[in-house]
Amino acid sequence: MNINIYYGGRGIIDDPTLYVIGKMQQTLEELRVNVTRYNLYEMKNEILTLPQTLKTADGIILATTVEWYGIGGYMQQFLDACWLFGDKEKISRIYMCPVVMSTAYGEREAKLNLATAWEILGGLPCSGICGYIEKPAELELNDQYVGLIEKKAENLYRTVNQKPVSFPASNRAVGQKVAVHQGTDLTPQETEQLSKYVSDDNFVQRQKEDIQELANLFRDKLKNEGAEDEEEYLAQFKKAFRPTPGFSAVICLDIAEKPKKLIIDVKGPKLEIFYGSAEKTDVEMQLTRGMMEEIVNGRMAFQRAFMSGARTKGDFTAMRTLDQIFPFSRDK
């Protein structure tokens, strides 16, 4: 089973939606579901091509945050792209779970808008989540909220697996008979090529020169770093290490721009840390370089990185313990 998550928020640290979809992703992966997450704010220039990713999906989660009004621009662009370029026959077989967390007013309306939009596209909406969350910590510390999130993820799994029959919706009929889309023979790539920027030869030439300059810069940088790159962060982890009796785990940190993964092997009071690979790991986390810098300088905890969008899988309890055995001091 394949489930895609499309996150339409701005990716800010205190966004409660990040915690919700992170927990849902963890629950689905424990059920052996292949979960792929797309952060729309990181893919501004690729949103037109994202409907192609629906072709392999059995179900999707559309997640966004109401910060002042509505579902936000990124999610609206994605839905527009689905209307213009999506495979309607494939969409008609995809179940969609809406997730809307609000720091303002209007989460119920936004959830309804997502469900209505998906029905007009011909898709199959299912039960979702919406709520007003003033402080993201409320979600993590409230076991009932956590249980509700996990239950919704399990319900999505059951719905996609069982494919229950439902009556046709009037929204779907309107989309087929009244709101007839004036189709276009252009692909998303051809549409982009016709834009005023890409059709400008001078602009294209400048972009090519900039890309070549950046490529040369990074190539020279990699040559100069050499072996020093594989020593980065090791001393900071060793200095901060505070062993916890009885705790053993193998943690794999996949840091962006690093050719090798950082392996942390903790066995009680013993610590081994190196760049390479491990046969078996208890926790795997994908981090941006910025997140890693924040962590080792004591400005962000591993748990906060997870809530901020760092993809994590494995033993969630062991992941929480990382902040206890590596209490990095704040860089002043």
Q: Is 167 within the bounds of a domain?
A: yes
Q: What is the mean pLDDT of the chain?
A: 84
Do 215 and 267 sit in the same domain of this protein? no
Q: Would the pLDDT of 106 be above 70?
A: yes
Do 168 and 312 sit in the same domain of this protein? no
Q: Is 184 within the bounds of a domain?
A: no
The pLDDT confidence band at residue 289, using thresholds 50, 70 and 90, is: confident
Read off the CATH number of the domain in which 251 is found.
Answer: 3.30.1050.10
Do 205 and 147 sit in the same domain of this protein? no
Do 165 and 260 sit in the same domain of this protein? no
Domain housing 210: 192-226
Taking a C-beta distance cutoff of 8 angstroms, is the pair 303, 319 a contact? yes
Do 222 and 298 sit in the same domain of this protein? no
Do 123 and 163 sit in the same domain of this protein? yes
Dump pLDDT digits (tens) for 164-204: 877 776 666 655 555 444 555 555 555 555 554 554 567 66
Do 43 and 124 sit in the same domain of this protein? yes
The 8-class DSSP code of residue 231 comes to G
Please, is 102 exposed, middle or buried when counting C-beta atoms within 10 Å of its C-beta (0-12, 13-18, 19+)? buried
Question: Among residues 46, 23, 52, which one has the least CA distance to residue 35?
Answer: 23
**What values do phi and psi take at 184, rounded to 5?**
-135, 145
Do 205 and 98 sit in the same domain of this protein? no
Which pLDDT score is estimated for 86?
A: 86
Question: Among residues 140, 72, 135, which one has the least CA distance to residue 107?
Answer: 72
Q: Number of structural domains, the chain?
A: 3
Do 120 and 198 sit in the same domain of this protein? no
- Give the H or E element holding residue 306: helix 302-307
pTM of the predicted protein model:
0.54
Do 312 and 245 sit in the same domain of this protein? yes
Do 139 and 154 sit in the same domain of this protein? yes
Q: How many residues does the chain have?
A: 332
